[in-house]
Amino acid sequence: MDLNLTESELQFRGELRAWLKESLPKEPIVSMGRSDADYWNKLRDWQNSLYEGGWAGITWPKEFGGRGTTPIEAAIFIEEMAAFDAPERVGVIGEGLVGPTIMAEGNDEQKEYFLPKILDGSHIWCQGFSEPNSGSDVASLATKAVREGDDFVVNGQKIWTSFAAVSDWCLLLVRTDKDAPKHKGISALLVDMKSEGVSVRPLKQMSGDSAFNEMFFTNVKVPAKNLIGALNDGWRITITMLMNERTNLGPATYIQFKKALAELIETMKHKSSGGKRLIDDPINRQKIAQIQMELEIFKLTSNRALSKITNNAVPGPEGSILKIFWSELNQRLVQAAMEILGDEAQLQEFENGAWAYRYLRSRGNTVEAGTSEIQRNIVAMRVLGLPRSY
């Protein structure tokens, strides 16, 4: 694994940096809540700016409107977007998960209609996987779809769905054969979120945020032409999507954690306890050193996964190692911050509640995108080759 950027990769990074300096919104795009319509309209505009500038769907093949970039260039893009504090991308699920699925499994009509609208921000997507009794064990899902004429009729519930409250479309996993083994009876549908019978309710988290939602489907008619891939072949599609999701989080997450650690160190330089700066306390310095070492280990582990994708084209179950590492590293980082900064850090008045929010939000890291327990089972069986435990 060569960690040095090639001449073309350096050129790519320079071009991106120049574009970001010129094109980033002059004023920060601030949300007044997840249902803030103005906020989401501005994010759609930002997605369209990326599209017009040639920076949307950069990993997509050129024939579908992308740049056909390498995995390393894609990682550079993610890192630079995070480094420049660029606004969040409403197309992230569409670009990273739905679009590639449609390209690989969809028919010509689906590709022609959906792909351009993902890139330019016309369509925001969510993914309907988890259910109240089917979280990390996606294959146990119960939301069902029954074929009636030219439609599937969908009934069921999904939960922990990002972007659902503002999404135009949903890639929905449904059970289409109740008699088949649980992995064999699943299909994937492209569902218009404005369909009659679809309702969305935000979920208030202990952090105060409502980024996740629950969705209810009551006799929702979905045209049969919106089946993606073959009937009852949804599990294979799901595995590919989840491996991409778990692997692609590394570059941006590293930058975000590095910034958080830098903020903590800067605060420690100016905050005192017992007449001594926090940064001068040897125990505090030891905690910071530990997080710094783990952060660099995370970067190297992320680069290893990136190297494998570069050589093999598709991510493998090693993505689960990354998921375990970043989710638990973030919890250790914010735990150390709260211990170092003291009780004051729990207050909303302390740095606008940033550390209190980070601490509370981090508790969900080891649950979302597959629990740590499930990820360790994947590593044990598919990476280490250990037998399944019953």
Chain segment 248-302, per-residue pLDDT in tens: 555 678 888 999 999 999 999 999 998 999 999 999 999 999 999 999 999 888 8
Report the range of poorest mean pLDDT among 13-17, 287-291, 385-389.
Answer: 385-389
Helices (H), the chain: 7-23, 37-52, 71-83, 92-93, 99-105, 108-119, 234-247, 250-270, 282-312, 319-341, 354-362, 372-378
The burial of 83, by beta-carbon neighbours within 10 Å (0-12 exposed, 13-18 middle, 19 or more buried), is given as middle
Can you give the pLDDT at residue 20?
97
The predicted structure's pLDDT at residue 242: 67
Report the alpha-carbon distance of residue 105 to residue 267 in Å, rounded: 50
Instruction: Say what the pLDDT of residue 338 is.
Output: 96
* Torsion angle of the four alpha carbons 56, 60, 66, 70, in this order, in degrees rounded to the nearest 10: 90
Q: Is the pLDDT reported for residue 339 higher than 80? A: yes
- Asked if residue 314 has pLDDT above 80, the reply is no
Least confident of 36-45, 234-243, 265-274: 234-243
pLDDT of the residue at 207: 79
Q: Name the residues annotated as catalytic.
A: 245
Q: What is the mean pLDDT of residues 146-160?
A: 96
Tell me, what's the pLDDT at 378?
Answer: 85
Name which CATH class applies to 249-383: mainly alpha
Position 157 scores a pLDDT of 97
88-122 pLDDT per residue, tens: 898 889 998 999 999 989 999 999 999 999 999 99
Q: Which residue has the tokens 């952060």?
A: 295
The CATH number of the domain covering residues in 125-232: 2.40.110.10
Q: Which position has the token pair 């083994």?
A: 181
Percent share of the chain, pLDDT over 70? 93
**pLDDT computed for residue 125 by the predictor:** 97
Q: What is the percentage of the chain residues whose pLDDT exceeds 90? A: 63
CB atoms within 10 A of CB 269: 11
Q: Which residue has the higher pLDDT, 84 or 251?
A: 84
Please give the pLDDT value at position 303.
81
Bridge partner list, 146: 153
pLDDT, position 84: 93
**Confidence at 315, pLDDT banded by 50, 70, 90:** low
> How far is Cα of residue 40 from the mean position of the Cα atoms in its chain?
18
Residue 264 is predicted with a pLDDT of: 97
Question: Where do the structural domains in the chain lie, given as residue ranges?
Answer: 7-89, 125-232, 249-383
125-232 and 249-383 have identical folds: no
Confidence of residue 34 (pLDDT cuts 50, 70, 90): low
Average predicted confidence (pLDDT) for the chain:
89
What pLDDT sits at residue 11?
Answer: 96
CB atoms within 10 A of CB 94: 32
